[in-house]
Structure 1
Amino acid sequence: MFLKMIKNDFTRNKVITMTVFVFITMAVILAASAINNIANLIQSMSEMKERSNPADITQMHSGEFNQADIDQFTEEQRENVMMQETMVLLTFDGSQIHYGENQTMAGTIQDISFVVQNQQFDFILDLNNEKLVVKEGEVAVPIYFMEQYDLKIGGTITVKQGMYEKEFIIADYARDYEMNSSLTSSKRFVMNPADFEEMRETYEGELEYLIEFKLRESGDANALKTAYIEAGLPANGPLVDGQIFLIFNALSDAAVALVIILISMLLILIAFLSIRLTFLATMDEDLKEIGVMKAIGISKKDIRNVYLNKYRLLSVAAGILGYLLSFPVANLFNEHMKLYISSDLSGNLKFILALIAPLMVYFMIVMYCKKVMKRIDKISAVEALRSNIMEQGRNKKNRFRLLKNKWFSTNIYMGLRDVWIRFKLYRLLFFIFAVCSFIVILPLNVYNTMNSPEFSTYMGIGKSDIRIDLRKSDTITDDFNNLQQELLADSDIEKYAAFITSSYQIKNADGSWDYINIEVGDFTVFPLQYLEGRSPENEGEISLSYANATKEGLNKQVGDEVVVKADGTEKTLKITGIYQDITNGGNTAKADTSLGINASAVLWYIVSMDVTEGVNISEKMSYYQGNYDSAQVNDIQEYSSQTLGNMIDQMKIIVTAGIIIAVIVLILITALFLRMLLSKDMSQIAIMRSIGLTSQEISYQYMAGTLLVLVLGIIFGVMASNYLGEFLVNIGMSSMGATKIELVTVVWQTWLLCPVVLILIVGTTIYLSCKITVKEDLSIILRS
């Protein structure tokens, strides 16, 4: 009997049942695909790390040094060090790398280096995660540049510097564990040793080195770093912990997976509300049957199981389908991972972990259904046979009398009045509309924020029109001075500021010394947004990035002091501010010019500028790019875009997915709600038609009420995305060094385009739903 009742319920409520089924399936698909992505990420990162065998500690150094000193240090540290290797880098400016038809890489913010493979560890891989082997006359191009400049295997690049000029065939793409991410500022081209030696003979720049250490399993990384500093070994550059490369590689895909999980949780919430909505509608229709079952002695548990088994069956079927569909859906989000981490994502871990999603959704749905169905226990047989549970709470004092209406047409007023009278019923719809708006607006705001010039302030950079980076070259100091003199005399430049970044030693909280990159200059010209305090303006002042100020860093607050060592001289500096910076692992600082420049460890020079009103920024950028060959000239938006390129591309996918999901949910939920509401109001609709109201006029009543709820839901959803969404984004970005990001809201998108599109979708759904129902045979309705 119970099976027959369940079957009859499926047959009678096909639309409602399919709607709930779709929501549960979508939730399982997204949750399972997100877990699938995480499983793929864990497995592929593990494989890539095993194949590339990256360094645990890397000291970047520019200038000459004695390898014998490094070898001696390595022998002394054998209890910590298993292997040591030094990689030589021949670094070129982007303007010296030619491709296609007279095109160069001059616009890139990345340092371009040519290298040969190491012998022991830190291997650069091909797209099959095999160690790259490059023949003479060939080169392997980093994936980052392959994407940015659309470089194809079989194509060519030409390197030109002074008397050196040689064309190389692109033989493969380089998958580089240490420098894959756009967040790292350097990229390595792999070439044959013979070609490398030929290039090195005529190389005009200063040689750069990666002094790399591979630790033993029991090795102490902190002890090794401290010993390296105390030994006074080559350190004209940052000291990088290998853990940062893991974070950079996984960041984009992990962020996508977390956002997908958030959306899937919202869908599960919508599924809960849909079940509640359909259950109340079903109870309203089946109330007399429930009364009969209670009257003949059927237990409450058995009656609950009649309805509960339906949702159990739905959850099992949706879980199986969602699990199977999650794998092709996950592939849509795996393209970045396939390119940058592993082309083969066929591991078995994802099949096991993805089962968590359908099992979790099943138990959540069943537990929620049990809670909702406790209503059945509260209904006595007598009450069920003589009353309607859905009518409870409707006998409010009517404050919206038709006679008092002076502002709206009668049909619109009746629709608005219905929302007030049956607010408990409409609040479910309001909440779902708000969630859908949230799913659309939050990813859109994040995407706009990443593409905004203001995002530079979260990268430790003041907002300006143009940024010029001068990298290591023989003429870098002269170029830097000449550039400042030219800017001073250029009437097209409204203001500018020059900054020099050097590597300094700084005393840690435990009293040991570590390296830190400190930028020196006037930070009042293009100020940052500080979490606390202000920029360094006077002698002996410094500001720290959030990552450096935390307990995991220097454990300092505004007003504290730090000790910095430059050229052997210790200086005590007062901390005036803490700012946000997601570059270089967030470990940066900014100091007043009184600190002085650590001339032996200068890393780069930067000049920021604003042009006067009416000046063409692109033309001014082209002018300075042409006059300074070694310079990298970008506007701030382009600089941010290149740095966050991978994350921005991933966010585009999420924005598109969010819009598609929201549209599907809106259509199904609106149709479901209207079907339930119109079914319940059928007798009322028949009475209105019998006294002369047309089907169109009745449709306007339901459209007015539902659209009012939609507008309120959109307003609530937009506000939630601005405040709650901002809170969630800041939690996610705190690990990168930014804890207070203000999302950029494009007003015409948030308050005009999105609401209009949502209103059109819902309005069309309401119109079609009402059109079908209110035109049914009047005589049949009245007889029933």
Structure 2
Amino acid sequence: MTLRLAFSGIHRQPLASLASVFFIAASITLLTLTSLLSCQLYGSIDSLMDQAQVPDILQMHAGSVDEQGIKDFADRCPQITGWQISSFLNLNNPAVRLKDQSLAGSTQDNGLVIQPEHFDFLLDLSGSRPEVQPGEVYVPVAYRSLYDLETGDIMTIGSDSLIIAGFIRDAQMNAMMCSSKRFLVHPQTLERLQDAGVQETLIEFMLADGASPSQFRRTYEDAGLPASGPFIDRSLIRMMNVLSDGTVIFLLFLVSLAVLAISLLCIRYILFLQLEQDRQQTGMMKALGISRKAVRQIYLVHYALLTVPGILAGLLAALILQRPLLKQLRELYGTAPDSSAVPLACLLAASVIALIVLISVRLSLHSLDRQSPLDALRNPQTFGRSGTRFMSAAVCAGCTFLVLVPLFLSHTLSSPGFVTSMGIGDAQLRLDLASAQTAGFVTERLEKDEQVKKWSLLTTYGQTVRLTDGTTLSLPVETGDLEAFPVTCDKGRLAEKENELALSVLAARELNLEPGDTLQLEDQPEPFVISGLYSDITNGGKTAKALHLETEPDPVWTVGYVSLKDMADPQSWMESMSGTGISVTSIREYVRQTYAQTLHQLNLAAQLAACTGLFITAVVMFLSIRLSIQQNRDTLSLKKALGFTTGQLKREWFLRQIPWCLSGAAAGLLLALGPGKWLCCLVLEQLGATGFSFDIPWFSALAVLFLIPAAALTATWCNLSVLRCITPCECFRGKESS
């Protein structure tokens, strides 16, 4: 009987049932999409790293190394199960062109390599090791879309030309957040082009299961082996790959939560309308002795039946929408292997949404318990246009929040001011220098250059900190004039004295240090006082800044920051400064290239959120107005009998919606600037970026504040055309439309 009554309710109220299915499907679509993308991201990254056999430890070193010394070390170290030395010919970016585009402004260290012999393989798009021929080159797949490249295009290095034979996935340096990119060439080609760049070396190790990378680093350093470059472990490589698309997946998760909240609100509204329409029927059932639990059961079964088509529609929509979002991910990392975790995650997401909806319905049905049979049979209907107006405000607020948060986050990450959260100052130009000798030349030139307003050269040295458990932490320490282009400190300030050192937030969190504490670097004779904590999401987010180190090992890298005078032409200055061992790029371009993958996905997610927000606004308003008209049909008929025209009724309903829609949009803006900013801060803080603040594109924000109410009011006006179908005599007959 309960099932029959539930089906009868669906048949009797098809519009309300269809609306409920739509809201359930919308919530399931986005949460399932989040689950799909997460499984694909982690699965494809892990699969690529396994296929390529990514090393557990990578030590980059400027220059050549003593291979016999590395071999002797590997033979006597029981932690090592495999090792190899790979050459990396670091090219002079201004001398390199991909098709017709120069790499002069590239922020990457672009280098030529040959296929490694034992592990750390470079794979083509089919997952195989490509057989490159003399005169050919395989280009990093990240550059295919960035520079609009195709197979057969020409790569020029100085006066030499190479044919682009294909594209490679580099599990170690795939992400644009990694600072280096490898081009695969034939050994003969590498030999011929030796004079085109500076020789660097990648010293790579595979470790035994259970071996600690930090302990191995200490063993390596104690052996006095080459270490004039970053020390990278497998976990850092994986994190850099995940960061590029992980931010977008989190944003999509926020969007799904916003849609779920809107959907629950709409379903609750629809349920209250149904309860009002069924007031007399439920009162009659109670009067006949049917228990309150049985009455509630009818509505629960009713919505349980609606969740079935909602789940199917949501899963189907998620499968369709995943294709554009997975396009870049699959290009960079390949397709994730088939796994039972993917369908299980999708079903779990759908089940969670269905369960939340049913719990919400069950809680909303408490109003039935408070209603006596006599009240149900006697009291008039009370849920009318006030509920519709509140619904208008709530939906406009939710959808405005849904659209603005991705828009603000995308614009903020692409703005030059965000560099202060990346661990670098807000300068105009960035110089990447190949060697200490180059730094001397640049210093002399900048001091004499009348176009330069302000400049600073910062040198980074590799340092080690021993933790309380005996393990060590690799800590790059940047030294130089920190006040020329200061980063913003979350706590305290940058180093101002010789014995002071500022720590990044993530490094301070791992070392459990606060401003005022002391830190002993293993290569330095005296401890440093922590002067402050700053944001940094480069180099794994664990860095430090000091005026200088008393004991200076070989530098890892040197960068320069420059701001020019107003009279200077930045493009001409960049061209004049660029040369062998010097790469110059604007800070805006540096941010764009570093976050190219993330920004592309963020823009895609922002577009999806905008379309979703506008669509949901229009659909919700259309359905809520239609349901409210049904609910107030007798009142509207009576007004027509009293002489009101259809046009007057339409204007009355429409004008009363305007302030509610506008106030809802304004509330959505406040929610985006408040809770929305807090949620974004929560995630970015885990990456090391604190003190986050939205860089608001006010023109776009005002456009959203206009479009959301416009979509709501347009749907309202179009829907009010049904008022002409209401006749004056209906109120006298007591007729109700189905």
TM-score, with structure 1 as normaliser: 0.89
Deviation at 1:722, TM superposition (A): 1.4
State how 1:458-537 maps to structure 2 within 5 Å.
Answer: 458-472=421-435, 476-487=438-449, 490=450, 492-509=451-468, 514-537=473-496
**8 Å CA contact retained: 1:91, 1:205:** yes
* Structure 2 Cα separation of the partners of residues 184 and 310 of structure 1: 53
Q: Which residue of 2 aligns with 1:291?
A: 283
Letter in 2 for 1:156: I
Q: Which residue of 2 aligns with 1:560?
A: 517
**8 Å CA contact retained: 2:435, 2:557:** yes
Letter in 1 for 2:67: Q
Q: Which residue of 1 aligns with 2:113?
A: 115
* Structure 1 Cα separation of the partners of residues 468 and 531 of structure 2: 18
CA spacing shift, 1:99–1:278, aligned 2, 3 Å = closer
* Structure 2 Cα separation of the partners of residues 614 and 17 of structure 1: 67
**8 Å CA contact retained: 2:110, 2:183:** yes
State how 1:620-635 maps to structure 2 within 5 Å.
Answer: 620-625=573-578, 628-635=579-586
CA spacing shift, 1:332–1:232, aligned 2, 3 Å = same
* Structure 2 Cα separation of the partners of residues 59 and 183 of structure 1: 18
* Structure 2 Cα separation of the partners of residues 70 and 514 of structure 1: 22
**8 Å CA contact retained: 2:96, 2:155:** yes
* Structure 1 Cα separation of the partners of residues 268 and 257 of structure 2: 17
Task: Pick from 219, 230, 239 the counterpart of residue 231 of structure 2.
Answer: 239
State how 1:414-433 maps to structure 2 within 5 Å.
Answer: 422=386, 426-433=389-396
Task: Pick from 601, 606, 612 the counterpart of residue 650 of structure 1.
Answer: 601
Letter in 2 for 1:753: A
Task: Pick from 657, 681, 685 the counterpart of residue 734 of structure 1.
Answer: 685
Deviation at 1:118, TM superposition (A): 1.7
Deviation at 1:262, TM superposition (A): 2.5
Aligned: 1:354 with 2:335:
no
Q: Which residue of 2 aligns with 1:448?
A: 411
Q: Which residue of 2 aligns with 1:762?
A: 712
Equivalent residue of 2:556, what SS? strand
Deviation at 1:579, TM superposition (A): 0.5
**8 Å CA contact retained: 1:238, 1:516:** no
Aligned: 1:267 with 2:263:
no
Equivalent residue of 1:89, what SS? strand
Aligned: 1:575 with 2:574:
no
Task: Pick from 202, 207, 211 the counterpart of residue 210 of structure 1.
Answer: 202
Q: Which residue of 1 aligns with 2:698?
A: 747
State how 1:638-677 maps to structure 2 within 5 Å.
Answer: 638-677=589-628
Q: Which residue of 2 aligns with 1:400?
A: none
Q: Which residue of 2 aligns with 1:194?
A: 188
CA offset digits 1:500-521 (Å, max 9, x no partner): 2233344545576654322222
**8 Å CA contact retained: 1:206, 1:472:** no
* Stretch deviating more after TM superposition (321-330 or 437-446): 321-330
CA spacing shift, 1:651–1:292, aligned 2, 3 Å = same
**8 Å CA contact retained: 2:229, 2:556:** yes
* Structure 2 Cα separation of the partners of residues 166 and 125 of structure 1: 25
Deviation at 1:366, TM superposition (A): 1.9
**8 Å CA contact retained: 1:59, 1:212:** yes
CA spacing shift, 1:254–1:58, aligned 2, 3 Å = same
Q: Which residue of 1 aligns with 2:125?
A: 127
**8 Å CA contact retained: 2:92, 2:197:** no
Deviation at 1:457, TM superposition (A): 0.4
* Structure 2 Cα separation of the partners of residues 361 and 290 of structure 1: 28
Aligned: 1:20 with 2:20:
yes
* Structure 1 Cα separation of the partners of residues 7 and 468 of structure 2: 69
Equivalent residue of 1:608, what SS? strand
Q: CA RMSD in A?
A: 2.4
**8 Å CA contact retained: 2:641, 2:729:** no
Letter in 2 for 1:25: A
CA spacing shift, 1:535–1:252, aligned 2, 3 Å = same
* Structure 2 Cα separation of the partners of residues 98 and 639 of structure 1: 18
CA spacing shift, 1:573–1:4, aligned 2, 3 Å = closer
Can you give the 5+ residue segments of structure 1 that lack an aligned partner in the other structure? 395-417
Q: Which residue of 2 aligns with 1:609?
A: 562
Q: Which residue of 2 aligns with 1:370?
A: 362
Equivalent residue of 1:647, what SS? helix
* Structure 1 Cα separation of the partners of residues 495 and 60 of structure 2: 28
Equivalent residue of 1:184, what SS? coil
Q: Which residue of 1 aligns with 2:85?
A: 86
* Structure 2 Cα separation of the partners of residues 431 and 529 of structure 1: 37
* Structure 1 Cα separation of the partners of residues 662 and 671 of structure 2: 14
* Structure 2 Cα separation of the partners of residues 478 and 66 of structure 1: 28
**8 Å CA contact retained: 2:214, 2:472:** no
Equivalent residue of 1:354, what SS? helix
* Structure 1 Cα separation of the partners of residues 505 and 317 of structure 2: 42
Equivalent residue of 1:283, what SS? helix
Letter in 1 for 2:45: M
* Structure 1 Cα separation of the partners of residues 573 and 732 of structure 2: 78
CA offset digits 1:449-481 (Å, max 9, x no partner): 0111110001111112222222248x5134322
* Stretch deviating more after TM superposition (648-657 or 145-154): 145-154
CA offset digits 1:82-116 (Å, max 9, x no partner): 11111111110211222324x32111000011111
Deviation at 1:34, TM superposition (A): 1.6
Q: Which residue of 1 aligns with 2:211?
A: 219
Q: Which residue of 1 aligns with 2:97?
A: 98
CA spacing shift, 1:660–1:590, aligned 2, 3 Å = same
Equivalent residue of 1:528, what SS? coil
Q: Which residue of 2 aligns with 1:170?
A: 164
Q: Which residue of 2 aligns with 1:586?
A: 541
Q: Once the two structures are aligned, what percentage of the paired residues are identical? A: 25
Aligned: 1:540 with 2:490:
no
CA offset digits 1:230-255 (Å, max 9, x no partner): 22211101211210111111223333
**8 Å CA contact retained: 1:153, 1:171:** yes
CA offset digits 1:492-548 (Å, max 9, x no partner): 333222222233344545576654322222222222111111122232222111121
State how 1:677-688 maps to structure 2 within 5 Å.
Answer: 677-688=628-639
Number of residue pairs the alignment of both structures matches: 734
* Structure 2 Cα separation of the partners of residues 724 and 543 of structure 1: 30
Equivalent residue of 1:713, what SS? helix
Letter in 1 for 2:188: A
CA offset digits 1:14-35 (Å, max 9, x no partner): 3222222111112112222221
Q: Which residue of 1 aligns with 2:144?
A: 146
CA offset digits 1:599-623 (Å, max 9, x no partner): x522333222223335443344344
CA spacing shift, 1:222–1:286, aligned 2, 3 Å = same
TM-score, with structure 2 as normaliser: 0.94
**8 Å CA contact retained: 1:520, 1:597:** no
* Structure 2 Cα separation of the partners of residues 482 and 603 of structure 1: 21
Letter in 2 for 1:18: L
* Stretch deviating more after TM superposition (106-115 or 24-33): 24-33
* Structure 1 Cα separation of the partners of residues 647 and 551 of structure 2: 78
Q: Which residue of 2 aligns with 1:318?
A: 310
**8 Å CA contact retained: 2:637, 2:727:** no
**8 Å CA contact retained: 1:507, 1:562:** no
* Structure 1 Cα separation of the partners of residues 381 and 364 of structure 2: 14
CA spacing shift, 1:688–1:777, aligned 2, 3 Å = closer
* Stretch deviating more after TM superposition (690-699 or 556-565): 690-699
Deviation at 1:486, TM superposition (A): 3.3
Equivalent residue of 1:334, what SS? helix
Equivalent residue of 1:246, what SS? helix
